[in-house]
Amino acid sequence: MEVGWGEVDGRPVLVVRATRTGGLPAGGEVPAHVYATDSRRDAAGRAGPSMGGRWSELEGGRALAFVPRFPFLPATSYTVVPVSGDGAPVEIVAPPVGGPASTRVVSIDPSGPVVPRNLLRIYITFSAPMSEGRASRHLRVERDESGEVLEHVLLPLDPELWDPGRRRLTVLLDPARIKRGLAPHRDAGYPLETGRTVRLVVDAALSDAAGRPLQEGAVAVFAVGTDLRGRVRPERWQLEPPRAGARDALVVRFDRPLDRPLTERCVTVAGVTGRGRAALDGRSWSFVPDAPWALGTVVVTVDPILEDIAGNSVARVFDRDLSIPDDDPLEPVRAVPLEVALRPASAP
């Protein structure tokens, strides 16, 4: 029996043909059982069930195709065991995914170079959709000077946190070690150490959605500074008013690095359509209106869920010391408004 790959209705199928020493059974009988080679026998050596699927005739009966109930996976070995005759089992590997690796890491947030010791979250953005479920095997945090891998820094997540397009992965530093007062914090301390430099390493072996590795791995280096504490306070931000009559950007400068994706969701200009963008370093946000600004005032609104890169939000701090009144949470508010008076068109 000769075994090869073919296609039926756009799906990969296994095709078997008669050889001089082994013919095909007639009358719709099953010619062979198909197994994924790895799961043909269990750990104790017992035979498992064969793959579900159906056989159909090709080429006017000169060949038979096995159409599996669940599609063949790329680069996976399958074993075809003839039902009768002297034919030996045939191992055949499904074609791997074609094309060279093309997906790469576009950015890693925060962009550094200094991060607070209580940094909560890192975002890794890719140029194309990725495979889920295997990230933790391909991410690690190392000491920059020695390359020593630091254990229990990142929170193992199952399920993983991806954006809907599977291009951006959210990685949390172990919150149990960041939160003051919890046992893991007391036992093991912060995941990061002030004064040290660490690097986050993304292995090239991380697969994109097509199953291909990355074009190359990526590294982000962070110097670890001091803690970032207290609520995010929009009243401390600097607002740079644009000129009326033009489409200049309205720029808001923050007093600390904020979470970039949350900034883009949470800061907006009430009643004005346009495009808001957070700066790469998370320290400012700029808004370009679709139409020229009208003279008068506009209101920048801030949703109180907005967090800094240590997880402190406008509404509450990440871990609240009940003895510090300044850390008391805000009463639930819908948004914090900031008024900006536009400059007249003739202003310099």
Q: Which residues ranging from 299 to 318 are in contact with other proteins (CB under 8 A)?
A: 299, 301, 303, 305, 307, 311, 313, 316, 318
Closest to other proteins by CB, 167 vs 343, is: 167
Query: For residues 5 and 2, what is the distance between their CA atoms, to the nearest angstrom?
Result: 10
Residues in binding contact with other proteins, number by CB under 8 A: 95
**Which residue among 61, 70, 147, 326 contacts other proteins (CB under 8 A)?**
70
Under the binding rule (CB under 8 A), the answer on residue 181 touching other proteins is yes
340 - beta bridge partners? 298
Closest to other proteins by CB, 183 vs 347, is: 183
Contact positions with other proteins (CB under 8 A) in 183-202: 183-184, 186-188
Terminal Cα-to-Cα distance of the chain (whole angstroms): 85
Contact positions with other proteins (CB under 8 A) in 150-169: 151-152, 155-157, 159-165, 168
141 - beta bridge partners? 200
Question: Strands 250-253 and 284-289, how do they pair?
Answer: antiparallel
Contact positions with other proteins (CB under 8 A) in 75-114: 76, 78
**Which residue among 265, 294, 295, 330 contacts other proteins (CB under 8 A)?**
265
Question: Do residues 34 and 76 make contact, with C-beta atoms less than 8 angstroms apart?
Answer: no
| Residues 6 or more apart in contact with residue 24 via CB below 8 angstroms | 1, 16, 17, 18, 31, 61, 63, 64
- Least distance between other proteins and beta carbon 189 (Å): 9
Which of 187, 158, 188, 186 lies closest to 172, judged by CA? 158
The verdict on whether omega for the bond into residue 348 sits within 30 degrees of 0, i.e. cis, is: no
**Which residue among 322, 325, 346, 347 contacts other proteins (CB under 8 A)?**
322
- Least distance between other proteins and beta carbon 35 (Å): 7
- Least distance between other proteins and beta carbon 79 (Å): 11
Which of 229, 230, 155, 145 lies closest to 195, judged by CA? 145
| Residues 6 or more apart in contact with residue 218 via CB below 8 angstroms | 104, 105, 108, 124, 201, 202
Question: Do residues 21 and 84 make contact, with C-beta atoms less than 8 angstroms apart?
Answer: no
Contact positions with other proteins (CB under 8 A) in 3-32: none
Contact positions with other proteins (CB under 8 A) in 35-64: 35-36, 38-44, 48-53
Under the binding rule (CB under 8 A), the answer on residue 241 touching other proteins is no
**Which residue among 107, 127, 170, 197 contacts other proteins (CB under 8 A)?**
170
**Which residue among 22, 25, 74, 112 contacts other proteins (CB under 8 A)?**
74
- Least distance between other proteins and beta carbon 76 (Å): 6
Question: Strands 250-253 and 238-240, how do they pair?
Answer: antiparallel
Which x/- pattern, by CB under 8 A, does the window 120-149 give for other proteins?
Answer: xx-------xxxxxx---------------
For the record, the structure tokens of 320 come out as: 């609240």
